[in-house]
Structures are given as structure tokens and as C-alpha cells.
Chains A and B, each alone.
Chain A
């Protein structure tokens, strides 16, 4: 990073204003040159706008390529600027897949494919979580999202597809094939993105490195785990126990200091220092997460349970509502809509059930 704070920043006015506080700390420039940022954002926006569902196939491809290129260059620029602080290589792989799949979700004109691409997104997001040492979340995400929610989506998609006619070719509804106001949406979205990225990048520069937290403090709450681990590794004999502090009455497992005091059968105490601990004696992600969840957010758990209960009840109640239409009318209507759809795709979108309603 050879540029000093005095460098003049050739950006758009907004960027200049945004950068005013940064010039004191030159924070954004640590991460990326603002000009590159905005240029890439704009080109990315153009690409996305082109890629959204539209009449021709070629613009979509071009748009997608442009957007992908822009995203990639952005990350690359940040990486180059980062130097030694660049993230893991898996970050790049997973984020590329995630963003690509996300783009495909929003641009694919078939809902089923969109859902499937979303599954891919979820999987790559889980990969990102893994790199971020959140193993539980990674798998929970896959199980819940890809395994439950997306399956539900796929079922509903199947339910909600109109009955195809005799011909085998599945005709896509017009509302799938045409995006609505792509440019306005892209502008709004990328405006938000610009602000967000700049603030994020600015903000991160102001973050202080966290104080090193000794994560093994939780070991004090898991005596049985400590004992079993020590016993498995032969550091504790059968008769040994973990010492209890006379004055406080607590077990003398000090994860912070890195000392475990064992009271041996003979009554002698031995202190195990951190470097003597077995290699698997550490707080795992699940354990830590579990302790944090139940210790610090018990009420929220209850509320979450209630939310899920209500959702379940609501879904049951809603799905019981029947639109009273006899079979003949339904068949006739669906036939009618298919005809209209074939002849005039636009009109098919606005149909109204005859005599419908409760």
C-alpha cells in the first residue's frame, strides 16, 4: 500500500462525501480504492439488470457474465489490497459459488430451478460458515434450509403450477419470463449496496482487534468432559478427582490461566498446565454455542418455540381454507386460462375465479 493519505480521490461526489470522514484515517483505502469500487458496482448493476429475465437470451448471458466479472474483480481488488490479510482460499471458492448461484436464483425463469439454485447457495453459505469456525451453524443451515424449507418450497411450486395441456412442452407463464422494472430495482438495490459497502469497509477499519478471549473458560462448566478426556489420555487415574477449591467450593479448572488441579488418590495435588493438556481438550463450537444459547438467551429460546408453534398452527389453519369451486368449473377455468395463456400470454396472468370466495 504505497499511497499515503494525501492522495486525492477521484470518485463521484457521493463517494467524496462518504469518504470525508475516512480521509482522516484513510480507512477505505486500506481495503479498496473507491474508484474501483464504484466502477465495479456500476458495471455489476448493469450486468444484473441485463441478466434479469427478459425476452432475449443473449443479453441475459452477457449480463450475467458482466455481473460475475464485476463481482470477481471486486473481490480480487480487495484481495490484492489485503496482501497478507487475505482470507483463506476456500473463501473464494465458496463465495464464488454462493454469489453465482444467488444470481442464478434471481435470473432463472423457472421457479424449480430457482429453488434448486437456492439450495446450492445454502450449501456454499454453509461452506463459508465452516471456514468461519461455525460448524454447528453450517450443518444446521443445511438441515433446516436445504432440507426442510426448500423442500416445502418445491412442493408448493409443484402444487401451484397450472395444469399443462396436451402438448408436452411446458409453457412458461409470462410472469416468470419477464422481470418487472429491472432498471429501477437495480438502481435502488445497487445504491443500497454502494452505501452498505462503503460503510462496511469504513466501519471495519475502525474496529479494534478484539481482546484475545480465552475460549477455554467454559471448561470450568464441563467437569465431566474434562475428566473423561483426562482419563482417556491417562493423565488421571481412576481414583483421581478434580480438585475443589476450599474457599469458593468450585472445581479448580481454570481455562483462563490454563491450569487444572487434580487431586490424586494420595491426596497430592497436581497442576496440569495448558501445554500438558490433551489435544482434544477444548471447547467445541457446539458446546460453546449451547452454553451461550441457554445461559444468555433463555427467554429467546422460549419465544422462538412459540413462534414455531404459531407458524405451525397458522399453516394448518390457512391451508384448511377451501375455495369452493366444483370440479367442472375448476376444469373449465383451467382450460380457459390455458387457452388464454396460449393466445395472449399477458391476459392469462389476470384471471379471476368465477363465483370464488368464501
Chain B
């Protein structure tokens, strides 16, 4: 792909404008090794030519509206799901067609005029605000949109079955929010100006809130939704300030002119920006915004709680797409990050990413809830991506995002299938040997492939992408990113820990003797419908027995699912179904394997996650993804000086990371692996709950493990440090409001009363009262006259 593209680009550049570092750009294509780091030129956009991309927002918005209408009409079928899948497939097709026809020059697809103000003298910078609904299409956006729309379509298919127990109002609501999410993500990724990006930013936050809180009857779900939204908001403050600063400095919010100005190194007034607050402060602000959305250190606490939402939501939003918005933002704004000679913001980003990765990995090694393990793993991998951005390899970060999306989605879909099938059971101490159970083979294989990607087993996509970042961690000199070497070692250690916890999960849950304890939902036939944690009585109370709830109408659609019974019947009615999952009389529970749609989705995702490795080889030095990044504004070539035992960077890192990963896997197998070949011949676990060596180790580490299990009490600390003082402050203000403000108002209201009370005696009819008034008045009058006269 690069063979014909690059000469075309250079000629275009030479023809379009003359720039200072022409020579460096021309030399870049030829030689990478030992090269000094610099940013590539940003190519000015051409208007028009990619209008097919506009199908994405139009179709998703339409799908949202249709789902909303269906909800209003009281639709009880799976129609919303098929509409969503169809719409998202169309979107993917549109993106694909634009990609195939793309020539490397960024295009602007114009939608409609949205904001267009001008004030003050013409032509002066900072006196007009133009923010149109138009999309800026370049290789970076296409990279993102490809996996976003693709995964969205796959997961919609998965969700069509996963959420099928909720057909009716809930179903329509789910898919409406789902489509709205994809619309917002499109606005975010493809927005031509920062304001549209922000619109999408807030939109994905909103949809995340709606979808996490999907089971709104559960207190925990509602709390988690609020937490996610609020913490995103805190980060958004940084983003908003960044947008405003950009406007103040550059006078425009549109990406094209912005990049041109940054390219020339000047701001709106023509003054050089190097060394000013513009390049030192603005990147920080954007970084904070990214942290909030992408669950970096201090901001990550919402992501584990977001696992309260249904699994498709977790798979799409909190693994693959929304959380990568932060990565995208920094990649998009990379020119301004790189414009800072000291690269302070990038250092900040790198350190935060590495610390996040390490922190989350340590927590994960103790957590038992496999969905939360996946959540923390997402946080950890996002840390890797941020570290990659900070360590001057946006290519590595972008590619890791790409591969991570696919294999994390696979992992989540598999976990969802397990949860769906075992009555909501998620504790890895209560399951074992799932891969050998009937119907779960595909799930197991998918989990295996996903775990291999996550671990970084050589040959997998995850291996290559992680390797790019790790290699840069040892290549970037400390002079450019302070402490880069430390970060490299930290990331390596984290990679080993990643291997360990992934292996722990896989060895415990999927391998070994078949053994399980059903989850809390086991008493109910409709598993996955009844949210984990609600008691049986509550659930029956909500849905009742035999009254016209929308669940009953969905019986017809259940015919395809063997073993499903109508819900809402009391336990004694369970016997009448053809096949029971849970027979209360015998207390035997059969796990419920996933159906066709879920299996199809899992399979597709699994295959894609395997295939995601291929682009790595489709071009020098990072492959297709790197090329995509290099042709966009995010292009930056970090130094390439890593050398290990004479082998140059990437090949050396292949070796090292492979070794580290393997060590991690071995430790996992030793501690958690089952006996026999499944545990690589070093395990000793015989049942689901007991892993003797692991338990002994836990005993040795004692308080540390407990702390990790309790997420290092970060939530509690936030509660004490932030929430409690705020509550106290709020109570104080409430008291002030009640006593002072209300008191003032009441006092004003009491004035007429008081006046009345004092004046009323004037009409009392009592002679002496009148006389007293006269005498007193006389006395006062005389006093006043005397005082006035003196």
C-alpha cells in the first residue's frame, strides 16, 4: 500500500506549499533507523469527496428514532435489534467504501451549517466562530471508524439475543441508546471542529450513562451510571478549557486551519507559539479530558462499576470504543502535544498511562469477579495506549487500540456468554472447566484466543501491538520524555502481570475438571433478564404473576431458545416446560449455552481478533496501522534507538516480551492451573474453589492481597476526601439557605405581620391607648425638635 502512496504524497506536498523542513520529510520514507524524532507535515484538507461517510450519522440517527418510535408503539419483537444490526452494517459499509477509495488526502464532508458567528473587525483572529456539522476524514479517523462500526454491528447482533429476555420497552430502549452511541462516536471521531467532537464526547458519555443504568431498578446500576457520568464530567472540564484555550490562542476551532497554524508554529496573531503557554498548557487540558473519558489514574473508578451494565454494553462501550475516545483525542491533537519542545504534557501522559497500567494490573491479580477482571484489564491496556502516546509512538498506541478493540470485545462477549449460561455466576472460584461443557466450546476457544492476545503470546495481534509500545519505551531517550526508561521497565513488568492474571482467569474458569456453582439467578428460568443481585421476591414483585407485562408477549420469540420458559410463574410451575434449566425439586442446574446469534457474534469477533495481526505486516515498521497514523495529523516518529544484545528494537522486544509473558503464564499455571496437561503439567488444582498454592500465597501476602481485592480502597478514599467534605459543605449551605436565606425571606414576610401587630392597637378603641400614643408622640416630637434645634 505504501509503494504508490508515498511518492504521490510527496509530490502533492511539494506542489501545495513550501515548508521549512521539507528535507526531513522526504528523507523519512527512506530511512528510519537512528533518525531524529520529528513530526510529519499535516496535509491540508480538501472539501468534498468523502460524502459517503455522512451515511454514518444519518443512518444511526434514523435507527435511534425508529427504535424510539417502536418503543412508543409498544413493539414486543426483536425488530429493533435487526434494525440496529442493519443500520450498523450499512455504516460499516459506508466507512469501508470511503476507506477503499481514499487517497490519503484528508477530506471534509460537509453536512450543514451549525454555528457561524462573526463579530468585530473582519479577518482578525478570534472574532469569528465557525463550527459546522461536517466531518474531517483522514486516515486516523478511518482507522477508528472501521473498528468502531464493525464492532458495533457485531455486538448488536450479540445483543439481539443477549437482551432478548427483555423484549418490549427495554429492548427498544437498549437499541435506541446503542444507535445513539454510535452516532455520538461518529461525531466524536470524525468531527471537523472541536465543538462537534465535544458534542460527540458528551453524547457518548450520555449513552454510556443510559446504558450502564439500563437495569435502572437496581440501585447499584443507577449509582454506577451516575458515577461514570460525573467522573467523565470532571475530565470534561479539562477538555472544555482546552477548547476555549484553543479558540483564544488560534482563533478557530476547525481542525484544518488549526493544524495549519500549528504546523507553521504560529498562533492566531502570527506570533510563534513555541515556549508559550499555548504549547505548555493546552496539551495538559486535553490530556485531562482524555483521562476522564479513558479511565486513567484517579479517573478510572467508574469503569469497574460500569460493569453493572449489560455485557454487550461493556463490550462495546467500555472496552472498544468509548474508552478509546481519549486515546483518539490525544492522537488527533498530537501536533500541539508535539509542538512543545519540552514535551511536558506527553511526559505527563506517559507517566499516567504507565502508572494506570501497573495499578490496575495489581488490583486485577486479586479480583475474583471475571467481568471486573476484564474491566480492570481494559483500564490497564488503556494505560498502555496512553503510555504509547506519551512515549512518542502514536502508531503503536493506535494499533494497540485497534487490536485491543477486537480481542477485548471477544473476551467480554465470552464472559457474557458464561454469565448468561451460569445464572449470573461470575466468581472464578465457583467455576471450572467451562471449555469442556456442552455448548461452551466455542466460547472457550474464543476466550482462549482472546487471552492469548491479551497476554501477548507471540504471533497474536496483541503481541505485536503491545510490542510496539514496549519497544518505544526503551527507545525514547530520557531527554525527550523524562524517565522513559523507568516507564519501559514498568510497562514490561505490567505486561508480565497481565500475562499472569489473564492466565489465572483462563486456567481457573475454562480449564480443569468440570465444576460449577450456579449464580443467584439460577432459580429463575430467564437468565440474563433478571439482574444479578435482586432477590427472587423482589423480582417477582416487580414482574408479578401472570399480569399483562410486556415479558409475557415475548413467549413467541422464545421458541428458538430451547429450554426457555415463560417467566413470572411461580416456582411450582416450572415443571411444565419441556426442558428445565433448574429443577427445584432435584436442585440440578444445567448451564445454558449461548444461542446462534451470540455464537455468531463471538465467532466473528474471535476471527477478527486473530486477523488483526495481519495488518502488522502490511507495511514497514508497524504495518498498516502505523501507515494510517503516519498519514494523519497524529504522525510522529519517535526515535528508534533501542538495542539489545546487538539486535535492533522490535526484534529484541519480541524476544523479551515473549519471555516475560511466558513467565507470567507459567506462574499462573503453577498457582491456578488444574492438574495434568491442562495446567501445563505444573498445576495442582482439583476443584473450582480450591487452588492450594494460590491460597497459600494469598496467606503470605496477606494485607496486600486484601487491599488489592478491595481496589486499594480508592473509592472509599474518594468518598472521604471528596464526597464527604462536599456533603458537609452542601449541608452547611443547606443550613445557610434554610436559616439565612429563607430566614431573610421569612423575616421580610414577618414585617407586615409585625407592623400590623404594632399598628393594630391604634384602633383598639381604648381611650388610654390613644392618649398614650398622643403623649408619647408629643414627647418624641418635642425631643426631636429640641435635638434638631441644638
Contact = CB atoms under 8 A, between A and B. Distances in A.
Given A181-B768, A185-B772, A191 B790 contact: no
B790 A20 contact: yes
Interface in B756-784: 768, 772, 775-776, 778-780, 782-783
Report whether over half of chain B's contact residues are helix, strand or loop; otherwise say mixed: helix
Contacts of A196: 782
A195 B787 CA distance: 10
Given A20-B790, A180-B768, A14 B783 contact: yes
B772 A17 contact: no
A21 B775 CA distance: 26
Contacts of B789: 21
B786 interface: yes
B786 A199 contact: yes
21 contacts: A14-B783, A14-B787, A17-B787, A18-B786, A18-B787, A20-B790, A180-B768, A181-B768, A181-B772, A187-B776, A188-B772, A188-B775, A188-B776, A188-B779, A189-B775, A189-B779, A192-B782, A195-B782, A195-B783, A195-B786, A198-B786
B772 A184 contact: yes
Given A191-B783, A192-B778, A195-B783, 15 more contacts: A17-B787, A20-B790, A21-B790, A180-B768, A184-B772, A185-B768, A185-B772, A188-B775, A188-B779, A192-B775, A192-B779, A192-B782, A195-B782, A196-B782, A198-B786
A191 B786 contact: no
Contacts of A199: 786
A199 B787 CA distance: 11
A357 to B, nearest CB: 18
A17 B790 contact: yes
Contacts of A187: 776
**Interface range, A side:** 10 to 19
Contacts of A198: 786
A181 B776 CA distance: 13
Contacts of A192: 775, 778-779, 782
Nearest to A193: B779
5 A-B pairs with least C-beta separation:
A192-B779, A188-B776, A191-B779, A188-B775, A21-B790
A28 to B, nearest CB: 12
A63 B156 CA distance: 98
Contacts of B790: 17-18, 20-21
A201 B124 CA distance: 82
A352 to B, nearest CB: 14
Interface string A4-23: 00000000001001101100
A20 B786 CA distance: 11
Interface string A187-224: 11101100110110000000000000000000000000
**Interface range, B side:** 10 to 19
- Which has the most chain B C-beta neighbours within 10 Å: A181, A188, A191? A188
Contacts of B772: 181, 184-185, 188
- Which has the most chain B C-beta neighbours within 10 Å: A20, A181, A189, A192? A192
B758 to A, nearest CB: 13
Contacts of A185: 768, 772, 775
A227 B299 CA distance: 127
B160 to A, nearest CB: 87
Contacts of A20: 790
A17 B787 CA distance: 7
Nearest to B771: A185
A13 to B, nearest CB: 10
Interface string A100-138: 000000000000000000000000000000000000000
Interface in A83-114: none
Nearest to A22: B790
Nearest to A198: B786
Nearest to A17: B787
A189 B768 CA distance: 13
B563 to A, nearest CB: 91
Contacts of A195: 779, 782-783, 786
A191 B787 contact: no
Contacts of B778: 192
A345 B684 CA distance: 105
Nearest to A190: B779
A14 B780 CA distance: 12
Nearest to A199: B786
Nearest to A19: B790
A177 to B, nearest CB: 16
A192 to B, nearest CB: 4
B788 to A, nearest CB: 10
B787 to A, nearest CB: 5
A192 B779 CA distance: 5
Contacts of B787: 14, 17-18
Contacts of A184: 772, 776
A180 B766 CA distance: 11
- Which has the most chain B C-beta neighbours within 10 Å: A21, A181, A195, A198? A195
Nearest to B775: A188
A303 B778 CA distance: 29
Contacts of A188: 772, 775-776, 779
A87 B790 CA distance: 30
Nearest to A21: B790
Contacts of B782: 192, 195-196
B789 to A, nearest CB: 8
Nearest to B782: A195
Interface in B531-583: none
A191 to B, nearest CB: 4
Contacts of A189: 775, 779
Interface in B19-49: none
Nearest to B785: A195
A193 to B, nearest CB: 9
Interface in A228-254: none
Interface string B661-702: 000000000000000000000000000000000000000000
Contacts of B780: 191
Interface string B579-593: 000000000000000
A189 B787 CA distance: 18
Nearest to B788: A17
A274 B765 CA distance: 66
A185 B766 CA distance: 14
Interface in B262-311: none
Contacts of A180: 768
A273 B783 CA distance: 53
B769 to A, nearest CB: 8
Nearest to B783: A195
A171 to B, nearest CB: 23
Nearest to B778: A192
B776 to A, nearest CB: 4
A198 B787 CA distance: 12
B275 to A, nearest CB: 68
B262 to A, nearest CB: 74
- Which has the most chain B C-beta neighbours within 10 Å: A14, A21, A184? A184
